[in-house]
Amino acid sequence: MSVVVELHALELQGRHGVLEHERQTAQLFLYDIELELPEPPADELEGTVDYREVVALVRELSDGRQFQLLESLAAAVADVLLERFAQVVRVRVRVRKPEVDPGAPVEFAAASVRRERR
């Protein structure tokens, strides 16, 4: 049996984008994260993933690096989560960027990445 631990619309500021002004001024990014892992054997935090640690890892990555592509940012987040949490067998990360101007009104731009432990 497995469970999926989810964090949706995690709001963090970041300096990511192709354009210079996107890397100069922090903007909002929303992270949707799904972590699949075996069902914990007991009602104890040690058997699962601590949300606070997930948030800290994503924040550290976003603050420590700049990415041009949402795809690269999502992949880096997925990789660091798989690396940190040995019990996670599958991860899905979607990064949404609401403050985007593609030349027509849109709610957000996004990229999703899935990773699976082999």
Active centre residues (catalytic):
97
Q: Name the token pair of 51.
A: 């949300």
Indicate the SS3 state at residue 16.
coil
Identify the bridge partners of residue 91 per DSSP, sorted by sequence position. 35, 115
Residue with tokens 């799904």: 34
Cβ–Cβ < 8 Å for 110, 94: yes
Cβ atoms 75, 69 nearer than 8 A: no
* Beta strands across the sheet bearing 90-97: 2-14, 27-38, 90-97, 109-116
